Structure 1
Amino acid sequence: MSETTILKIVYIFPNGDQYDGECCRTSDGVLLRKGSGTHTSASGIMYTGEWDNDKMNGRGTLTHPSGAFYSGLFRDNMYHGKGTYRFPDGTEYTGTFNNNRFEGEGEFTDSQGLVWRGMFHNKAALGLKLKVNV
């Protein structure tokens, strides 16, 4: 695939989604999202950040109408690397993600504002310790 210049576009998909940002044209004429841009789904989910190979790749923020959001690193449309995910109820995880899952060292802030630190693996978080600020 031979990439040429970065183009700035606004594109409305047949399903009502919209992309406003940078892209490139492949040698066979296909436009791929590349660079920075904002994709808004018809249901109100919005991603603003870096794109490569027509996927969320790099640093970005994904917000949901529910109030949930993720801010951090993406790889192939998934949370991957360092980031923060805030749930609609205000609870929050900050740490490492691997293919959309909590993975590695991180902190979870519960609904009372208490911060729990430890190692996370998929849905398990064994040996969490309460972080105390003195």
Structure 2
Amino acid sequence: MSDPEVFKISFIFPNQDKYEGECTRTPDGILERNGYGIHTTPGGIIYRGSWKNDKMNGLGRLEHPSGAIYEGEFKDNMLHGTGTYIFPNGAKYTGQFSENKLEGKGEFTDTQGLEWDGTFHYTAAPGLKLKLDM
């Protein structure tokens, strides 16, 4: 079976979301976001990155109007894999994500610029250690 033809489209959804990028046609004739594309919402959310099977899959960057930014791996529209999340207050987490949750080894830089590392489990981080350069 040959790879499906890739189309470049600009599409506005009924909710006024907008997608500009690559897509392919399913065997049923439905266009799906596949490849690289930019999806924006009227509320100011912007996703730039990879799409597969009409969902955010692969590497991408998701920006929120609050100032929150995630850059990293996505799986089925979720933050999943390795990435960096910058919180609206400027704090930053770099590490593992599992289905939109901080999960696994990671580093956290707080609003004072102090760096912590350890294992994260959603909102808890048992055994978190302050990294000090001495």
TM-score using structure 2 length: 0.96
Partner of 1:113: 113
Deviation at 1:26, TM superposition (A): 0.9
Report whether the alignment pairs 1:133 with 2:133.
Answer: yes
What do the CA deviations read for 1:74-95 (whole angstroms, capped 9, x no partner)? Answer: 0000000000001100011100
Asked whether 1:42 is paired with 2:7, we answer: no
Q: How big is each residue's C-alpha offset from its partner over 1:15-57, in whole Å with a ceiling of 9 and x where there is no partner?
A: 1110000000112110000000000011110000000000000
CA deviation vs aligned residue, 1:58-109 (integer Å, no higher than 9, x gap): 0000000111010000000000000000110001110000000011110111
**Which residue number in structure 2 is paired with residue 13 of structure 1?**
13
Residue segments in structure 2 that go unaligned for 5+ positions in a row? none
Return the alpha-carbon distance in structure 1 between the equivalents of residues 16 and 115 of structure 2. 40
CA change 1:3–1:42 in 2 (3 A) is farther
Contact 1:3–1:25, Cα closer than 8 Å, also in 2: no
Q: Distance in 1 between matches of 2:4 and 2:75?
A: 23
Q: How many residues align?
A: 133
* Identical-residue share of aligned pairs (%): 60
Show the counterpart of 1:124: 124
Q: How far apart are the structure 2 equivalents of 1:23 and 1:133? A: 48
- 1:40-79 matches, within 5 Å, as 40-79=40-79
Distance 1:27 1:79 in 2: 29
* Alpha-carbon distance, 1:3 to partner: 6.0
5+ residue gaps, structure 1: none
Superposition TM-score, scaled by structure 1 size: 0.96
Q: Using the alignment, how far apart are the partners of 2:80 and 2:42 within structure 1? A: 25
